[in-house]
Amino acid sequence: MDQPETFPQLVGVLDTNDNWALASATTALSEAGIIFDVVAIDCVPANLKASEPKWRIRPSRILVAIEDVSEARSLVEPFQTPISESKDIEASSAVKPGLIWRGAPDAPLVQRIGARLIGTFFVCVGLVILYEFLKESPLLGVLFSAALVFVGVWVFFKGLA
């Protein structure tokens, strides 16, 4: 006769509001062949909540069958700590190329080329102003053009360093 259908008991292995952690955990479970379900929950405990999640999602819980709990928990364990509090992520995001204006030796090539172009522009404008203002106002023309040429040379040489 008709037997009632039995469903497996499901256990929660991850509660999060971080989209990256949810996607990574579900991918790990899929690759391991573990069947899971993601359900929305009302709230996430404070210690698991991402302080500033990049993509806002509703708090979610990943459920797995009771037979797969130990393997699933070991797979999602790296995603228990929100990404915003991870020390490795903060350390790697702190390494950024320096700005050429502050004398950084590791400035990107595009900054170096830009500095050379801007420096050349300032030198040219300074020389044109010297030529034009020298007839009308010699002191103002010389001072203003000398300042532009000085800034242009300084910026140009920052691009070479």
CA distance 29 to 71: 9
Backbone angles phi, psi at 62, to 5 degrees: -95, 125
Q: What is the pLDDT of residue 86?
A: 47
The answer to whether residues 56 and 20 touch, using CB atoms and an 8 Å cutoff, is: no
Backbone angles phi, psi at 13, to 5 degrees: -115, -15
Q: Give the list of residues 6+ apart from residue 139 with CB closer than 8 angstroms, or none.
A: none
Looking at residue 104, what is its pLDDT? 65
What's the pTM? 0.46
Query: pLDDT (tens digit, 9 = 90+) per residue, 109-135?
Result: 888 888 889 989 999 998 888 888 777
Phi-psi region for residue 10, left (φ > 0), alpha (ψ -120 to 50) or beta? beta
Residues contacting 8, CB < 8 A, separation 6+: 65, 66, 67
**Domains in the chain, ordered, with CATH?**
10-93 (3.30.70.790), 100-160 (no CATH)
pLDDT of residue 120: 92
Q: What is the pLDDT of residue 102?
A: 60
* Spatial contact of 159 and 119, defined as CB atoms under 8 Å apart: yes
From residue 95, alpha-carbon distances to 36, 54, 83, 106, 125 in Å are 37, 20, 17, 11, 37
How would you write the pLDDT of the chain (161 residues) with one tens digit per residue?
A: 577 777 778 888 888 877 788 888 899 898 988 888 888 887 766 655 555 555 566 788 889 988 888 898 888 888 877 655 444 444 445 545 565 656 566 777 888 888 889 989 999 998 888 888 777 777 877 888 889 999 899 888 877 76
